[in-house]
Amino acid sequence: MINSVGILWGFLDADSKAVIKNVSLKDKRLKELSKVMVTDINVSDINDNKKDDILFFSDNAFTAQFTALDSDFNVIAKFKGSGKDKQRYAHSQGGAFLPSRNEIMFQHGGIIYVLDNQGKLMGKSGTKYGNLVHNDFAFAPQTNQLIAAGEVDGGNALYFYDLNDKNWFKTNFEKQGRMFEVEQNLNALYEQTLHFKLPSYQKKSDKEWVMITSKKTRPEVDKLKGANVKYVIQKAPKESTDRSHLVALMGDIALKKDKRGKYQDTREEIVQMARDYEAEGQPFAFWAGHGNDPFYIQIETLEKILEVAPNTCYGFVYAEMDKVNDPRVIHFVKEYMPRLAKAIRKNNKAKLYFRYKNMFWQQRLTCHYGKRCFSQGNTMIF
């Protein structure tokens, strides 16, 4: 039995639960393995020495990583996927060692890697965010098949890879079972929408629908005579303006920035972007902050944007602002939000958009410091 407790990996006797042997993740042999998020473990004899080995399927910062240890915790195989295959929240699910082919299959999101027993890449198929992502895999020696069970998005079908085919991992499957049913239902709803007629008792709204997205509608949708839709582009400049005044208020945490941004845009350049969009008549929204850094764009710049683009600025997007005890979030709620509310009411019809991957995070901002901002006549700005 494999067991993991804190920083220890080890083997327990299946009956007595007594520790047979263990190793600390601080062991230098496990330096790389200690940094990953393991999402699947498989036990197989991959080097044919009549002793089982442990296969760890994982990711490191969303990049696929595979490691195999022998029973003495020595690394006997390893593999790291390409950064081009990086997938956020990918379901890194290793199927099984395939003894009939002496191969290891490794599913990382929509991509399947085929490795030899030392971790060398032998083949690859699929696309990130594109192919079916299965829940689990099992090798069937009687039929020499790899059985893929279900899909992580709710599918309940079984899929069979024929391992007699050297290109088995390139097999393309049509959706089956529940996911096929869902796909049919969505297509039916789409067709019903295309043929929708406004009932006589319902008045067409004069207000436009605002869609902050780069996606465009299909031609058949454009022909519909429904409500007007305003498509708004998104941009995410990162302001390079000095933050010493913020440091004076909350300390060095004000200097913490989002690693995904270069912060090379000056205040003047960002405001000029807004002026240009206004002159072009291009509706736009700026990503203005994130839980990693609420200050992508500073308040003085935001106020100026609203002033110079009263017709085309549709607002500012803030994502994952759930850390209500973070001094930066507290400052944002107490100082930024009231000033933004005032500027929005004065200059234009822009809104603040709060986006969250998990909906329960949103409730945190309606409590504590955020409560007064949502309840003092400011609801129209959200």
> How far, in Å, CA of 315 to CA of 349, rounded?
8
Question: Measured in whole angstroms, how far is the alpha carbon of residue 288 from the centre of its chain?
Answer: 19
> How far, in Å, CA of 153 to CA of 146, rounded?
20
Lowest mean pLDDT segment, chosen from 160-164, 208-212, 284-288: 208-212
Taking the CB of residue 193, how many other CB atoms lie within 10 A of it?
A: 11
> How far, in Å, CA of 158 to CA of 111, rounded?
18
The DSSP code sequence of 205-235 is PSSPEEEESS----HHHHT--SS-EEEEEEE
| Number of folded domains that form the chain | 2
The yes-or-no verdict on residue 203 having pLDDT over 80 is yes
Query: At residue 65, what are phi and psi to the nearest 5 degrees?
Result: -145, 130
pLDDT at 309: 96
pLDDT at 359: 60
**pTM across the whole model:** 0.74
For residue 2, tell me if it sits in a domain. no
Q: Is 218 found in the same domain as 85?
A: no
Contact 265, 239 (CB under 8 A): yes
> Distances from the Cα of 158 to the Cαs of 45, 131, 284, in angstroms?
26, 15, 45
Contacts of 71 (CB under 8 A, 6+ apart): 11, 51, 52, 53, 54
Q: Is 63 found in the same domain as 173?
A: yes
> How far, in Å, CA of 137 to CA of 121, rounded?
19
Q: How confident is the model at residue 139 (pLDDT cuts 50, 70, 90)?
A: very high
Q: Is 215 found in the same domain as 115?
A: no
- The range of the structural domain enclosing residue 280 comes to 200-381
What is residue 167's DSSP assignment?
Answer: T
Q: Is 288 found in the same domain as 220?
A: yes
Structure confidence by residue, pLDDT tens digits, 48-85: 899 999 999 999 989 999 999 998 999 999 999 999 99
Q: Is 71 found in the same domain as 127?
A: yes
Q: Is 162 found in the same domain as 248?
A: no
3-state DSSP assignment of residue 195: coil
Q: Is 212 found in the same domain as 89?
A: no
Provide mean pLDDT across the span 347-376: 69
For residue 135, tell me if it sits in a domain. yes
Q: Encoding tokens for residue 140?
A: 């069937």
